[in-house]
Amino acid sequence: MTAREAFLERVKSAVAEGNRAGGAPPLPERGRVGYQGAGADPVERFCQELIAAGGKAYLASDADAPLRLVQEILQSLNARRILLTRGGLIDQLGLAGMLRRLGLEVKTLDDLGADSREEFFQADVGITNVHRLIAETGTVVLTSRPNEPRSASLLPPVHICLAERSQILPDLFDLFDLFAPTASASKTLPPSCLTLITGPSKTGDIELKLVTGVHGPGEVHVILLAGSAGEG
């Protein structure tokens, strides 16, 4: 018997021995239990929850607003080195070009070689698209993919993301349902890394005093566009 087989045999007999007469309970179906939803106004709910978690939310009302908001945030931070991911709203808005015209040092994935991790460590701000937002919790959801490195929302001290209001899901359960098996398809395998970000990095390890930014970004800014296009 291999170590693995012995291991499993032990678990199997323990399962049998410990199962009380009457049999093991079936895997329960949740139904609607625990579903919170977002109430009447998911946008407002998202913003409230994000702010409660220590993040900042901005509503972009006109076509020029997103760039103006990004610019204001960067100026208030006195940020120089900006790192951009690719695709989605970032490309649609032509953000890289516009920020360069403002004289900022902008790095896009096109500028980076395979081994330029140092650029991520050095950047002042990372700007990304999002996969979804969750209104119930004020959460930004990112997926790892060639255009969206995990480091962009992680290593720089400030994270700005661009999203459309249509990307808001009311409840955390809705996100996971996107990956559940459906009648038509067997299932969508989750990405290699699905990241849920709810506000800035926090620690309370010293006397419970809240400090932001100990590891991840100390600031999270979410700019919400009015549009209704699909995911980024």
**Positions 156 through 185 that interact with another protein (CB under 8 A):** 172-173, 175-177, 179-180
In 3D, which of 148, 146, 81 has the Cα closest to residue 118? 81
Q: Which residue, 58 or 120, is less far from another protein as judged by CB?
A: 120
Say which DSSP state 152 is in: G
Q: Which residue, 62 or 185, is less far from another protein as judged by CB?
A: 185
CB of 95 to another protein, least distance (A): 19
Main-chain dihedrals φ then ψ at residue 32, nearest 5 degrees: -105, 5
**Tokens of residue 99, six digits:** 């920020």
In the range 139-158, which residues lie near another protein by CB under 8 A?
139, 144-146, 149-151, 154
Residue pointed to by tokens 């720089």: 156
100 binds another protein (CB under 8 A): no
26 binds another protein (CB under 8 A): yes
Spatial CB neighbours of 171, under 8 Å, sequence gap ≥ 6: 35, 36, 37, 38, 134, 135, 136
CB of 88 to another protein, least distance (A): 16
CB of 223 to another protein, least distance (A): 20
Strand pairing class (211-212; 158-164) = unpaired
Q: Which residue, 3 or 40, is less far from another protein as judged by CB?
A: 3
How would you list the strands of the sheet with 125-129, edge to edge? 56-60, 219-225, 158-164, 125-129, 81-84, 105-108
CB of 128 to another protein, least distance (A): 12
103 binds another protein (CB under 8 A): no
13 binds another protein (CB under 8 A): yes
Q: Which of 14, 63, 102, 229 binds another protein (CB under 8 A)?
A: 14
CA-based torsion, 41, 172, 32, 180: positive or negative:
positive
CB of 135 to another protein, least distance (A): 11
